[in-house]
A = this chain, B = another copy of it.
Amino acid sequence: MRISAAPIQPAMELAPLAGLGGGALSSFTGIVRDDGGVAAIELEHYPGMTEACLSSLIEAATERWSLLGAIVTHRIGIVPVGAPVVVVGAASLHRAEALEATAFLIDRLKTDAPFWKREHYADGTAKWVEAKASDDARSNRWA
A residues with a Cβ closer than 8 A to B are 10-11, 14, 18-19, 21-35, 82, 93, 95-96, 98-99, 102-103, 106, 138
* CA distance in complex: A133, B104 (Å): 25
The answer on a CB contact under 8 Å between B30 and A23 is: yes
Q: Roughly how many angstroms separate A29 CA and B14 CA in the complex, as a whole number?
A: 11
Task: Please give, as numbers and ranges, the residues of chain B lying within 8 Å of A35 by CB-CB distance.
Answer: 23
Please state if A30 and B24 are interface contacts (CB–CB under 8 Å).
yes
A106 nearest CB neighbor, chain B only: B95
Q: Which residue of B18, B29, B33, B138 is within 8 Å of A96 (Cβ)?
A: B138
Q: How far is the CB of A118 from chain B (nearest CB, A)?
A: 16
- Nearest Cβ on chain B to A109's Cβ, whole angstroms: 11
